[in-house]
Structure 1
Amino acid sequence: MSGAGPGGGPATSSRPTARVVIVNWRRPDLTIRACESIRSQLRDGDRLVVVDNASQDGSAAALRGAGLEVVETEQNLGFGAGVNAGAAGLDEDVLVLLNNDAVAAPGFLDALTAPLGAGRDPSLAATTALILLAGRWRPARAGEAFLTGLDGSRWSRVGADAEARGEGEVLVNSTGNLVDSSGNGYDRDWLVRADRLDSPAEVFGLCGGACAIRRDVWEELGGLREDLFMYYEDTDLSWRIRESGRRVEFVAGAVARHEHAASSGADSPMFVRVNTRNRILVAAEHAPWPVLLRALARTTARAARHGLRGPVMQGLRQGVAGIRRARRARTIGASGSRSR
């Protein structure tokens, strides 16, 4: 699929200029690898910017030593603020986001940005890539660490030797973002076998791990919101894109491989707390009331299963505390006067 354009066809030689922003926090090794995968794809007028989110561990020096343009923040204000810092003064046609724990396949940048270039459909605001899980995977055995698919299937990563022999399956991480009836934002086609993938271009929203947004849309919508710190920023932006009357499209030919949760850890208390809080806040601001009520009911039941303690309950309390402000932002946004 590398070097292919939208729908798997040849990548066009004409595309808009792009600024690629990659956010680093204390993983310069991953970030340099991500940058190396995209640097050879840059053309005249493109720019690659790495944001070091106040790592204070020598990351910025290591990144500059690798010949990268680095923006340093004074403190770690989270993913949204980091992206916004890297996008400041954007004068390229398109903003491209790539997770620092992802690797772009050849042809990724051309394929992802081409639909947003000259002669574009004015309703198309953004594109989202085909993100594959790094490595190869097989059905999990008892006692093994595993990832759970949307259908309940369990997968474990094969070892390096088995991977080198081509054993196991290539699995999908994302073909864009969906939101369910309880306000949960999730990756479409999560853990679907790549050789069985058959998803339409139309999708609810973008995955912030590998996506592109038109500059005019980015400026109009005010970039990523910064109060979420991390997680659900892409879901919030997707909602705002749709509320503006525009849409997001999945580009099968733009391929990136992602080390799932290599930077943050998907089972950490911080992940659970922030994910829980942000799901409620984003639903409160954008989703219909029944969706928010289901989100609150299901989160309360989940917290109760843990004795009303721990990170789920902490996230629930923080989310509930922010509902009034979120609903107020919803009202202001509907009037067309919101400034983010």
Structure 2
Amino acid sequence: MGNRPAELRRAITSVFEQEGADVEVVVVGNGADLPELPEGVTTVRLPENVGIPEGRNHGVRATKGDVVLFLDDDGWYRSTDLARHVRERFAAAPELGALSFRIADPDGGPDQRRHVPRLRVGDSRKSSVVTTFLGGACAIRRTAFEEGGGLPGEFFYAHEETDLAWRIMDAGYTIEYDAEAVMYHPAVAPTR
């Protein structure tokens, strides 16, 4: 967003602290100037805001990894073994196209049910097969992302994840909500 430099640094730090997996960090300035960032961060500066999905597409093009994790600038990873967990999940299941993470309140409040991408949410700490994922809290196998055609840039904001999810499933991949893969995000009222 360009107006949360402290939160962006926290997000980047949580990625660099990952253990047991190689990581690369790409930050997209989607019509926003980027603050000074730590060494090792690749930056992509877009002159105008092209929308969330197209901004993420630019970020994916700047990466090399087999699995891409998306993290919004106001979120961060709770544990240092998330990347290892994700790597192992994808290695164990070649048909797995995407993982949607559980979003937890860093202040200990309840998980927000609206962030669990399934009907009849029930227990947010229960993993399951799903038909969509959360764009700012997920991991996608690069081949699934590419076979699905990437995120629909023309959507600008909202529903881009579901569109790509269905194309990923059409390509023969599965999508799972993984309650053990946790991202912290401050609780936000859904009416914002």
TM range (shorter): 0.7 to 0.9
Cα offset for 1:198? 5.0
Matched, 1:249 2:176: yes
Cα offset for 1:201? 2.4
Matched, 1:115 2:93: no
Counterpart of 1:123, as a letter, is E
Higher Cα radius of gyration: 1
Contact 1:53 1:72 in 2 (8 A): yes
- 2:46 is aligned to 73
**Counterpart-to-counterpart distance in 2, 1:173 and 1:50:** 28
* CA spacing shift, 1:198–1:82, aligned 2, 3 Å: closer
Aligned length: 190
**Counterpart-to-counterpart distance in 2, 1:242 and 1:198:** 24
Map of 1:179-328 to 2, 5 A cutoff? 189=121, 197-261=124-188, 267=191
Q: Which has the higher contact order (CA 8 A, sep 6+)?
A: 2
Cα offset for 1:98? 1.1
Q: Unmatched 5+ residue regions in structure 1?
A: 1-23, 138-169, 181-187, 269-340
Cα offset for 1:226? 0.8
Match of 2:11 among 24, 34, 37: 34
Cα offset for 1:225? 0.8
Match of 1:82 among 47, 55, 69: 55
**Counterpart-to-counterpart distance in 2, 1:39 and 1:100:** 14
Cα offset for 1:176? 4.3
- 1:171 is aligned to 111
Q: Unmatched 5+ residue regions in structure 2?
A: none
Identity %: 28
* CA spacing shift, 1:52–1:89, aligned 2, 3 Å: closer
Matched, 1:128 2:55: no
SS of residue paired to 2:3: coil
Higher helix share: 1
TM-score by length of 2: 0.84
**CA deviation profile, 1:224-282 (whole Å, cap 9, x unmatched):** 11111112111111121222232111222211111245xxx8545xxxxxxxxxxxxxx
- 1:272 is aligned to none
Map of 1:81-160 to 2, 5 A cutoff? 81-106=54-79, 107-117=81-91, 120-137=92-109
Contact 1:131 1:174 in 2 (8 A): no
**CA deviation profile, 1:47-69 (whole Å, cap 9, x unmatched):** 111111121xxx41x243x4333
**CA deviation profile, 1:197-245 (whole Å, cap 9, x unmatched):** 4524212221112111111111112211111111211111112122223
Matched, 1:51 2:23: no
* CA spacing shift, 1:108–1:249, aligned 2, 3 Å: same
Contact 1:98 1:209 in 2 (8 A): yes
SS of residue paired to 2:153: coil
TM-score by length of 1: 0.50
* CA spacing shift, 1:256–1:198, aligned 2, 3 Å: closer
**Counterpart-to-counterpart distance in 1, 2:134 and 2:74:** 14
**Counterpart-to-counterpart distance in 1, 2:115 and 2:157:** 20
Contact 1:176 1:205 in 2 (8 A): no
**Counterpart-to-counterpart distance in 1, 2:49 and 2:19:** 28
